[in-house]
Structure 1
Amino acid sequence: MSGESCRVKANIHELKQSEQQWRQWRRFLHQHPELSYQEKETTAFVRRMLTEWGIPSRSGEHGHGIIADIAGSRPGPTVALRADMDALPIQDQKTCDYRSRQAGVMHACGHDGHTSVLLGLAKFFAENRQELNGNVRLIFQHAEEFTPGGAVAMIRAGALEGVDVVYGIHLWTPLQVGHIASAPGPFMAAADEFTIDVRGKGGHAGLPHEAVDSIYIGSQLVQSLQGIVSRQINPVQPAVVSVCSFQGGSSFNIIADQCQLKGTVRTFDEQTRHQIHNRIRQLTEHVTTMHGGMGELHYQDGYPSVVNHAREFERFERIGVEQMGSERVQRMPYVMAGEDFAYYLQKVPGCFMFVGAGNPDKGMVYPHHHPLFDIDEDALLIAGELLVSMTLDYMQTHTE
């Protein structure tokens, strides 16, 4: 074992001494969640910690997010690590002493854990500057949950300037704690949004021939949209079109003059993505016109697909096997959830990784964005060890 490898092992052991503090930070943040673009107190909390540890930092655009740098004692590459900080508009229904204190807002996706891990690593790297062959860039990002996402703004603010590689983790309850997963190439889906306003002609429910029923038209449109993937997209290209909201009408005996559909499109291939967009537009016009109504499509391109770089995935897989054993490192199948970490990977090489946070024995079985969502906090240290190892390994192999 090389001297560098010995130091890596020693450093990871040192992380375990701070694990309890990480859990405390995570529970504090879980009690005080803030929605996207409202992370004022969370940002202040992070900045206080960084200042205490002597880590210089600056804000992103309009005061959102934090970019901080830790310079090593020796020259080398710059490794960026990113954590998201925002919560969701969901009422926390758990029964525990760290339950959210903010009505209608909770950390239902693990971002409190992500922030706590990166805080722990900030302290760790600041205390071990002398062993860094390069620099660590810390990106505490706002608004991952809300399109267009905070990543774009952080990049505009210079979060990736001078960065050679970027890594991020997501605590993932569908994956058992003690396991990690990722994939080379396309990993998480592009996530687009659409709204369709259907307009007809209102009337009496007993005289439908004198009206143009917007709800009937909307229903026909839903059926047509669901057929895009099953009959018009190459079966080897993963894709989803889901209509998730159908709003219209106000009474049992009035034919609604308008209704509204809302949904999402998930894809991995850009050609498929554009094909579905165009087909939704064509169907909106055709179906509504055919039944005597009018339709207006509002389509918003969301986050692109998360595409991991092959060499950095190989690094993840090698390090994961070394640390945890091959049986605990998985190649993840396509994940239809979206992530704005994709924007970082479009700019510089990197890898996004899942760290298992589910545990049926502790009741951590609920999916992300569920009001009973929780994580096994044992995952925090695993995530920290993984990111430290990825960082130091990259520095070791790319030192000039």
Structure 2
Amino acid sequence: MDIKKEVALLNDELIKLRQDFHMHPELGYEEYRTSKIVANYLEECGLEVKTVAKTGVVGLLRGREQGRTVLLRADMDALAQTEMNDVPYKSVYEGKMHACGHDGHTAMLLVAAKILSRCRDQLKGNIKFVFQPNEETAGALDMINEGILENPRVDAAFGLHLWTPIESGKIGLVAGPTMAANEEFELAIIGKAGHTSSPQTAVDPIIVAATIVQSLQTVQTRESSVLTPTLIMFGKIQGGTGRNIIADKVELGGTIRYLYEDEVRNKELLKEKFERVIKGICAAMRAEYEMKYIPSNPSVMNDPKMVELVRTAVKETLGSESVIVPYLCMAGDDFAEFTHRVPSAYYFVGTGNKEKGTDYPHHHPRFNIDEDTLATGVELHVRTALAFLND
């Protein structure tokens, strides 16, 4: 099979799929329209299709001969964000937008499934095409808990992410820790309400919260090695009802990100430092606090052997290994759950092109992708799956 020719013949369909998904973004576990389109498409390709984890879809392609099973994954969910792009395929839903590339991920894996289904007689083993809901809030684990790594048992997993920080035509790939582990948290600072004219009669949770936000920066800059990246970030803060009222409570939320080899041990140490600062400030300033951690994902951990398969696929797709850049980042992705269970590789397809306006960061209201890079992602999906099964 001429893979490049097959990809080229389906390029218009690929772009049409991506733009349709972009126009109709759906939040985590609300991907009803998307999952229906995905399921119908896979069934038309002759795959065994089932729904998993509410809106997730798994398509199983069985090869002619028995062998190993490889998993290819795409995420489907969008973000609660209003799009600011002026394009014909702009989101039709106010407050919802594909600002992370998942529309492209879904389209690329669908087209890859169609191409691979046409060569099932050449396959030694099986391919599971996993279309995952709720990546932004860790939906992979729900799919795993519902058994997608079994029947047949998955031997390896591959995934990719369209990535605007990397120039179009480049591929980000590295073995070992690749994307950061992430702990999300909700923190409530509880004070005592009062009048702003008499602060001595109250306990002001706003100034307590401000002190905590400032002081926690020392955990990442003074208590963590620069060789073990650590980020503590607050994404929201809410409190108060009036300009002349001392609030009784302030609520904060944020993330703790880290990229460690010894992840389990260091995570617990980091959380101890984090809470020590909060507890100490609250005690000193007569406030109380409530802390809740929201389960998120560990780090993405790339297997060296799987990385070499991707490296070969890149060379075959783009003609040279020189397009590969050693790239890792502090963003998180719950593909990590697969990497901690089976040998895996997760890599970045550069889609940043300033002239096309696709150089905005992920989660920006003007985020968009260079659609010329979609074909690259399809071909890499196809080549990595074939390489693993026929190795």
- Tell me which interval the TM-score lies in, with the shorter structure as reference length: over 0.9
What is the identity, as a one-letter code, of the residue corresponding to 1:198?
A: I
TM-score, structure 1 as length reference: 0.93
Q: Secondary structure at the match of 2:3?
A: helix
| CA shift for structure 1 position 322 | 4.1
Taking the aligned partners of 2:147 and 2:185, their CA distance within structure 1 comes to 31
1:284 to 278, 285, 292: 278
Structure 2 residues without counterparts, runs of 5 or longer: none
Per the alignment, residue 112 of structure 2 pairs with: 121
1:159 to 111, 131, 148: 148
Per the alignment, residue 9 of structure 2 pairs with: 17
Taking the aligned partners of 1:317 and 1:188, their CA distance within structure 2 comes to 18
1:133 to 121, 124, 143: 124
The answer on 1:87 being equivalent to 2:82 is no
Taking the aligned partners of 2:66 and 2:3, their CA distance within structure 1 comes to 20
Deviates more, 1:243-252 or 1:113-122: 243-252
Per the alignment, residue 4 of structure 1 pairs with: none
Percent identity between matched residues is: 37
Summarize the alignment of residues 1-400 of structure 1 with structure 2, pairs less than 5 Å apart. 7=1, 10-61=2-53, 63-146=54-137, 149-161=138-150, 162-269=153-260, 270=263, 271-324=265-318, 325-332=320-327, 334-397=328-391
Deviates more, 1:281-290 or 1:344-353: 281-290
Aligned-pair Cα RMSD in Å:
1.4
| CA shift for structure 1 position 278 | 1.3
Contact 1:284/1:297 (<8 A) preserved: no
What is the identity, as a one-letter code, of the residue corresponding to 1:46?
A: V
Taking the aligned partners of 1:196 and 1:154, their CA distance within structure 2 comes to 29
Q: Secondary structure at the match of 1:92?
A: coil
Taking the aligned partners of 1:323 and 1:53, their CA distance within structure 2 comes to 24
Contact 1:72/1:132 (<8 A) preserved: yes
Taking the aligned partners of 1:298 and 1:71, their CA distance within structure 2 comes to 44
Structure 1 residues without counterparts, runs of 5 or longer: 1-6
Taking the aligned partners of 2:124 and 2:78, their CA distance within structure 1 comes to 35
Taking the aligned partners of 2:139 and 2:296, their CA distance within structure 1 comes to 12
Taking the aligned partners of 2:129 and 2:366, their CA distance within structure 1 comes to 30
Corresponding residue pairs, total: 385
Change (3 A) 1:322 1:121: closer
Q: Secondary structure at the match of 2:296?
A: strand
Q: Secondary structure at the match of 1:335?
A: coil
What is the identity, as a one-letter code, of the residue corresponding to 2:121?
A: Q
Residues 356-396 of structure 1 show CA distances to partners (whole Å, capped at 9, x for unaligned) of: 11111111121111111110111111011111111111122
What is the identity, as a one-letter code, of the residue corresponding to 2:246?
A: I
Taking the aligned partners of 1:166 and 1:255, their CA distance within structure 2 comes to 53
Contact 1:233/1:272 (<8 A) preserved: no
Per the alignment, residue 3 of structure 1 pairs with: none
What is the identity, as a one-letter code, of the residue corresponding to 2:217?
A: Q
